[in-house]
Structure 1
């Protein structure tokens, strides 16, 4: 078991860590800011203020930063210090937008919450949204249960965390990057064959949230209702664990021998928007 140290504290809710040109970028939800940490542990700089709560981040092949704005269902591009609309996804899904992966071709994979803003009564199956480099928007795998963290394995499969199913699914992609099949990559506890957030939260052993690539085909799985993050093999076996104590891990990123962790109080225990209880931490890994 490995521990972690705090790099920065006093944030509202940190999400979606990304590395680019020697710096770590993260979203701070309720401050509506995107932060840049030079070297990964330098003092944070505010590089963008986002109107509808920033979440998923990613970089286009040319280096421009893309930012998911959750509540207005829009992806923005940061160019010359200004935000411009990159993809208008309003009305494509019922829920607000969530995390995002931008691949090496500039293709965006975006998850959604599956329920209306501030209202879980209509929670249900939701697709993965794909924004192609030419702007085409595709909806794929339409039965996902709160699709959250997204990473691409070295074998080309896409992993998607389904938070309220206790599952990570592996999506096989075709030559255009479109999912053509989905299978369970890892699952914890009994099957959750329903869409009920409160019930799932009470019954799940693990609430998989953020994902990060591990070595040898493994993935780091953040548990939104746990006390750390586990490096897991396909099938669910834990081979390494980083303990974060009183805070849960909601997102992570492995950069060489460092694992950056976005940590906040456990899921559904506090009103994150009213607090400054989120921390950026780092753990040394092999």
Structure 2
């Protein structure tokens, strides 16, 4: 069992998509249309990007370039050195429904998923994953996913893991040299949980955030629960980071019956093992 989480930052409209980068914890405030970076030592917060998109997910390329999924524009954007966002890839030909999470592997390949239907009012349809190469070319590499959400890639770039929120499981794929995916299988079944954001650790386990159950859970491949961090509001996503000790950062929000979030917080709790794989630059 992990310890009790501590508050890092509150006053967030809807925190999501946390990332550890360059000694700071970054997250997207979806309702505010912002990407914010928080210094671990001082707690000082800096608004790095302002961009209206819902969802608003991001990750970093191997050279540190910030890549932003703009669901509104149906595009993958990259942040220039002057702070401006410019298009890297057009996602519109692959689908018109909301684009969701992104993970960039160690070779610079970006995997971006779409839930496949208009959430929450639309009728369910399966989602999919596209591969965006560093040159901006796009191709679909996985289909038939039940609300694909958080994603992670193992440290050796061999496996992509996708949280299927509506299937109560983490699903794995083998990654080919060209970035293609094959060998679909259940990496961990988590009955009763609807996994959202995920992160991998150096012991081969995965942390998953769950909104409805209001907790983060550490699971081994196969589904054995290794640790449980209960919260007083929904856990939307998590990432391992920290400079002096492994730390699990969690974006948590109050999730109401009208399917809106409020009372957003960034939380931190000690973890038994450091991050491994990606996201993580």
Query: Offset of 1:95 from its aligned partner?
Result: 1.6
Please give the alpha-carbon distance, in whole angstroms, between the structure 1 residues aligned to 2:114 and 2:182: 19
1:142-221 mapped onto 2 (5 Å cutoff)? 142-154=143-155, 156-189=158-191, 205-221=192-208
Deviation track 1:138-187 (CA, whole Å, cap 9, x = no partner) reads: 10221011111001123521110011111110111111121022101112
Q: 2:4: which partner in 1? A: 3
Please give the alpha-carbon distance, in whole angstroms, between the structure 2 residues aligned to 1:215 and 1:241: 18
Alignment equivalent of 2:260, drawn from 248, 266, 272: 272
Question: After the TM superposition, which parts of structure 1 deviate over 4 Å for at least 4 consecutive aligned residues?
Answer: none
Please give the alpha-carbon distance, in whole angstroms, between the structure 2 residues aligned to 1:41 and 1:183: 42
The normalised TM-score by structure 2 is: 0.89
Please give the alpha-carbon distance, in whole angstroms, between the structure 1 residues aligned to 2:258 and 2:121: 17
Query: Offset of 1:133 from its aligned partner?
Result: 1.3
1:25-40 mapped onto 2 (5 Å cutoff)? 25-39=26-40
The normalised TM-score by structure 1 is: 0.87
Structure having the larger proportion of residues in helix: 1
Query: Offset of 1:207 from its aligned partner?
Result: 0.6
Task: State how many pairs are aligned.
Answer: 266
Q: CA RMSD in A?
A: 1.7
Which runs of 5 or more structure 2 residues have no equivalent in the other structure?
A: 273-281
Please give the alpha-carbon distance, in whole angstroms, between the structure 2 residues aligned to 1:224 and 1:130: 27
Matched, 1:13 2:14: yes
8 Å Cα contact 2:211/2:233 also seen in 1: no
Q: 1:126: which partner in 2? A: 127
Query: Offset of 1:214 from its aligned partner?
Result: 2.3
Greater Cα shift, 86-95 or 254-263: 86-95
Please give the alpha-carbon distance, in whole angstroms, between the structure 2 residues aligned to 1:69 and 1:36: 19
